[in-house]
Amino acid sequence: MGQLSFFTVIPAGKVDFELVMEYAFLSPLVVGIVTGVIDYLAILPLYLILGHLAWVLLIPVVEGVRGFNHLDGLLDFGDALMIRGTQEERRRALRDVAVGAGGVGLLVVYLTIFYVATQVMGGTGFTTLYQLISAEVLSRVVGLLSLSISKPMEGSSLGKAFHERLKGKWPVLLVESVPFLSLCSLIVTAILTILFVYAGKRVLGGSSGDLTGMAITLSFPIMLISEVKCYPFSLPHLL
């Protein structure tokens, strides 16, 4: 349960960092399923009152459950991305606590994609629950895949520690994702993973905790769109 306490604001017991890192490859399932259910239960009563408008409130619900931790990684990476200098200068921008134009710009991109995702959501049946869980699981798979197959950037102690535990675990991450994949989300998972690995290598010289947080954050609304649009090709629907 330490996975929940580490990756969310859910008080699921004391965090043992060694155990969290050792079993981080299970976090897409453990954290993704729980947070997907929470997303659904939070919107359900609001949907009865506000109708489809309630889905816009999914944005603060998702970020609130995460404690805005992954969002911080997105802001930091956005600032690093806009630096025209060396990778070392970009890494310094990544560690700067102040939020610059790059961070704000990437935040606007994220919120825009997320808003579009809320507009394609349907009702509140089992299909919607499955789509929310799938997006939570798959976005975390993308983030951890990026961290597991890409060497850590220089000076990323936490990223290095997680990388060492995740190295060689990418087949397990892929197996975990199978029940939640549709034709679209399979393609999207591959594209996003390649994109984030490339971005980390090009911008920072490797992966980091901030890059992983950014990957999870940006992937979620994209995965949600792909799950909704390609649900007829998903495993539950085909079965």
pLDDT digits (tens, 9 = 90+) for 128-180: 999 999 999 999 999 999 999 988 888 777 778 888 888 888 889 999 999 99
Length of the chain equals 239
Joined tokens for residue 181: 């994949």
CB–CB of 7/69 below 8 Å?
Answer: yes
Helices and strands (H, E) in the chain, number of each type = 13, 0
Look up the pTM and report it.
0.91
Give me the amino acid identity at 137: V
Give the span between the Cα atoms of 196 and 150, in whole angstroms. Answer: 10
Give the span between the Cα atoms of 162 and 234, in whole angstroms. Answer: 31
Domain that holds residue 128: 2-238
Residue 231 has a pLDDT of: 65
Residue 184 has a pLDDT of: 86
The closest alpha carbon to 59, from 42, 81, 80, belongs to: 42
Beta bridge partners of 207: 152
Using 70 as the pLDDT threshold, list the residues of the chain that sit under it: 1, 13, 231-239
Residue 226 has a pLDDT of: 92
Residue 88 has a pLDDT of: 87
Give the span between the Cα atoms of 183 and 90, in whole angstroms. Answer: 36
Which residues make Cβ contacts (< 8 Å) with residue 125, sequence separation at least 6?
A: none
Count: domains in the chain = 1
CB–CB of 209/166 below 8 Å?
Answer: no
Give the N- to C-terminal CA distance of the chain in Å, as an integer. 31
Give the span between the Cα atoms of 202 and 53, in whole angstroms. Answer: 39
Which residue blocks in 97-169 are alpha helix, DSSP H? 101-119, 126-149, 157-166
Residue 85 has a pLDDT of: 80
Residue 182 CA from chain centroid, whole number = 18
